[in-house]
Amino acid sequence: MPTLTFTITGVADAIDALDRVSAPGVPQEIAQRIAKEVVLPKLAQYPPASRAKQPFVSDKSRRYFFAALRSGALVVPYRRSGALGKPDNWSQTPSGDGLTLTSQMEYSDLVRSKGRQANYFRGTWPTDVDIAESSEFDASLVATSVLVEIIGGAGP
């Protein structure tokens, strides 16, 4: 009767790979790469100008607008600076196993934050939630790439 013998090798390499993947800094590394490669580039994309008229919410806001226009504090049409999307204007703070991006621009909530977005920007500017949802697939690819890089260096 024939005898079959199996030798399983590579168990130590597999255990080493799992140890590398579960290392404490890995979630932060993944979060930083996702921010750099997926989220920040999406935040930098400006939608086309809507050219919609700015509705005044009160008589006081209308008076302020025209006074600012006369003084030169406001220019029509508004010139976009691009500052809201610049990566340097977003602070990155490690939080748990992730990363929190916070805009340094005072007005960012009025433009990007779901629930706080001004009526003028609704439907034109994607909210923070829209950007997060549209980033999920690409974020999973980046996370997989980081894990493959880590595991790829685990063997002999």
Comparing 14-18, 68-72, 133-137, 138-142, the range with the smallest average pLDDT is: 14-18
Element (H, E) at 144: helix 128-152
For residue 95, what are the CA distances in angstroms to 9, 100, 120, 155?
A: 39, 6, 32, 31
Mean pLDDT over 41-54 rounds to: 86
DSSP state of 115: T
pLDDT digits (tens, 9 = 90+) for 82-137: 889 899 999 999 988 889 999 999 999 999 999 999 888 888 999 999 999 999 99
Q: What is the per-residue DSSP string for 85-111? A: G-GGGEEEEEETTEEEEEE-STTHHHH
